[in-house]
Amino acid sequence: MKIVYKLLITLSLVLFIGNLVSAQTKEEEPEEIVVTADRVQQNERELIDAHTIITRKEIEQTGYQTVEEILRNQAGVDISRSGGKGRLTGIHIRGTNSDAGTLILLDGVNLMDVNDNSFPDLQNISLESVERIEIIRGSQASLYGYSAAGGVINIITRKGKGKKSTLISNASVGSHKMHEFGLGMLTNSDDYQFFFYSTYSDTNGYIKPRDGAKNKSIIFSGSFKPTPLSKLSIVGQYSDSMIQLYKDGGLPETNDYRSNRNNAVFGINYQRLFWDFYEPDIRLNYKTFNNHATSGFGTSIYNTDAFAGSFQNNFHIAKGKDILTLGFEYGHEEYRTSFSGTSTGVGVSRNNKSIFLSNLFRFIPRLYVNTSARVDLWESTYDWKDTFTNLKGGVAYHIIDKGDIKNNIISLLKIRSSISKVKSPPTYMDIGFIANPKSVNAESYLSFDVGLDIYFLNNKAQLSGSYFHYNVESFLYWDPAAGAWGEMKNGGKGKIDGIELEIKGQLPVGFAIKGSYTHNKISITNVTDTKQLNTRRPKHKALANLNWNYFKPLNMNINWLWVGNRKDIDTSTYPSTETSLSSYHIVDLAVSYKIINELTILGKVNNVTDKSYEDPNMFRQDGRNWFIGLKLSLPLN
């Protein structure tokens, strides 16, 4: 391993010295980004919400290996993973619950598991498939439903440029006998675009003797224009994975745990513009998750299936100065489970009928007003049903716009604010642990935020700051003293107050910086068990990233992440008790070199200081590790 580190460092120095004689090339101008995570395409500058856009260029420069790694290094997003690669991952935006706070989309298609609204195996999404990632912080429940109470993450697949086809591939090896190979293609023309990428990866893991993982996956997307004013789009993902887990709950390490998963997601979308102002948008989505798990408790089989269809109508009024959206959505979900090979098990289902309305008002120069409302009717097994109304209103105003500044020192000075009200139904898992499901009240979130965005030097530098507040009522919490084995109860109250700061910019001689700081303060009242809302959310989190790309073939990146103290749950005893996790910091170093236009060599050392830490409790994260690989991008015409 030491030899590999020395080779990476030597390679970096040699390439650096060898390129000192190269000429500096002109820096690229930042491109305008259109954000799609709020159902209607909107320029990034017009958004009323705090947001972060991770571009393809940033993904390549930082040497990130997984979507999870990208999200871990963003403001307002907290990550905890129960072990090595492929393990259950909790994602919290602005401190909200992971099962009712963060919605993850793939080209607009919902990726969440309907069982407990948990997250998909993010390892199944190869970063070679990703064009950009849009993170919208702040409630989007008035558009997407309760699962977006904290925000939305939309993963956009690769898109081709120009009339050409390109073969893309990657191969890498690394610590813990990690191997990864991927192969795909991008093709593009005036009337159609298609992309696919297949990946195989395996690793022995970093916890001996059982922490391995294998994964085979494929992602594809495409679009076709039947007419100049219409577009038909598809997106899909399939994965077949196996993971081992060295600990199962509080069980001793001698217990083996193995999980075999097969997941599939597919979506189709049709859009057509009529009379220059009416744009219908029809979407059909299907997903299935199958998990066969073996542990010290026995064998469990979990199957979930979900279908959703929506009919969205966009009205572009006064040449787009006002966009009115009226939509209808229907969803059907099923969850089945059996234990230790029994032929019968638990089967539950629920239906959702919803209507949503939004309006983007842009009549007054520099003023953007966005209001939205959504009504959901949920009907579920156990004769449980309820109606939920989610509301949101927000405004953004450009105090300074680039049209007003002659010297272009400040391109944009924007203030923004929004207020939201969210109702959240219980998940399948919650209902299964409630003695009387009919008595359950919806969790309620009332949120408010205010922020400031400043763009410098024609968008080459940006500074953003936000304050946010959540008032949470009637949230579900676990009471271990209730019933024979404990029970989910309804009625907890809490508050979340936080601050987010972000800065990024391009510096002279090829340097670029990115930094962020997040502060979360969570307080809970009126519950006997206070561990439910504030676990695994650090009060403080900071990031600093420095990239150097003065000589274009060579890129070097150093990343520092600090995560403050966190509370967690110790499940090694019953009833569980509250525990504290110490703060930690991680330094990563990445380097890449474009040997020729079609071939790039890259390497990375993660956790350079070999920091030992747990996140969550009882699950030690990886120490110093490395990988080295090649990327190919070969034009076919």
- For the record, the structure tokens of 193 come out as 């675009």
Confidence of residue 492 (pLDDT cuts 50, 70, 90): confident
- Is the distance from CB of 91 to CB of 77 less than 8 angstroms? yes
- For the record, the structure tokens of 55 come out as 């571009």
User: What's residue 90's pLDDT?
Assistant: 79
Q: Give the residue among 52, 100, 55 at the shortest CA–CA distance from 77.
A: 52
410-422 confidence digits (pLDDT tens)? 888 999 999 999 9
- Long-range pairs, 295-300, Cβ under 8 A, ≥24: 295/245, 295/248, 295/251, 295/255, 295/256, 295/257, 295/258, 296/248, 296/251, 296/255, 296/256, 296/257, 297/248, 298/339, 298/340, 299/339, 299/340, 299/341, 300/337, 300/338, 300/339, 300/340
In sequence order, what are the residues at sequence separation of 6 or more whose Cβ sits closer than 8 angstroms to the Cβ of residue 254?
Answer: none
User: What's residue 190's pLDDT?
Assistant: 85
User: What's residue 24's pLDDT?
Assistant: 37
Q: Could you write out the DSSP letters of every residue in 475-504?
A: EEEEETTSTTT-EEEEEEEEEEEEEEEEEE
- For the record, the structure tokens of 486 come out as 């404990």
User: What's residue 325's pLDDT?
Assistant: 94
CA–CA distance, 117 with 122 (Å, rounded to integer): 14
Confidence of residue 143 (pLDDT cuts 50, 70, 90): very high
Identify the residue with better confidence: 239 or 532. Answer: 239
Q: Stretch 336-343: mean pLDDT, rounded?
A: 67
Per-residue pLDDT for 13 more than 50? no
User: What's residue 18's pLDDT?
Assistant: 39
What are the angstrom distances between the C-alpha of 199 and each of 32, 83, 123, 260, 506? 31, 22, 10, 17, 33
H helix or E strand, kind and range, residue 281: strand 278-295
- For the record, the structure tokens of 200 come out as 């195989």
3-state secondary structure of 552: coil
Per-residue pLDDT for 565 more than 70? yes
User: What's residue 100's pLDDT?
Assistant: 66
282-308 confidence digits (pLDDT tens)? 999 999 998 888 766 677 888 889 999
User: What's residue 8's pLDDT?
Assistant: 42
Per-residue pLDDT for 552 more than 80? yes
3-state secondary structure of 184: strand
User: What's residue 533's pLDDT?
Assistant: 57
Most confident among 26-30, 328-332, 491-495 (mean pLDDT)? 328-332
CA–CA distance, 403 with 400 (Å, rounded to integer): 8
CA–CA distance, 344 with 336 (Å, rounded to integer): 10
Confidence of residue 209 (pLDDT cuts 50, 70, 90): low
- For the record, the structure tokens of 345 come out as 């098990």
Cis peptide leading into residue 426 (ω within 30°)? no
Give the mean pLDDT of the chain. Answer: 83
Q: Stretch 318-343: mean pLDDT, rounded?
A: 83
Q: Give the residue among 380, 385, 411 at the shortest CA–CA distance from 398.
A: 411
Instruction: Produce one character per residue of 314-326: b if its CB has 16 or more CB atoms within 10 Å, e if not.
Output: bebeeeeeebbbe
Q: Stretch 615-633: mean pLDDT, rounded?
A: 88
H helix or E strand, kind and range, residue 69: helix 67-72
CA–CA distance, 338 with 562 (Å, rounded to integer): 42
In sequence order, what are the residues at sequence separation of 6 or more whose Cβ sits closer than 8 angstroms to the Cβ of residue 422?
Answer: 139, 141, 142, 146, 149, 390, 444, 445, 446, 447
- Comparing 10-14, 252-256, 456-460, the range with the smallest average pLDDT is 10-14
In sequence order, what are the residues at sequence separation of 6 or more whose Cβ sits closer than 8 angstroms to the Cβ of residue 196?
Answer: 184, 185, 218, 219, 220, 221
Q: Stretch 510-517: mean pLDDT, rounded?
A: 95
3-state secondary structure of 67: helix
Name the CATH superfamily, with its identifier, for domain 2-563+583-635: TonB-dependent receptor, beta-barrel domain (2.40.170.20)
Phi first, then psi, for residue 576 (nearest 5°) are -65, 155
User: What's residue 557's pLDDT?
Assistant: 97
CA–CA distance, 323 with 358 (Å, rounded to integer): 8
Taken as a whole, the chain contains a residue count of 637
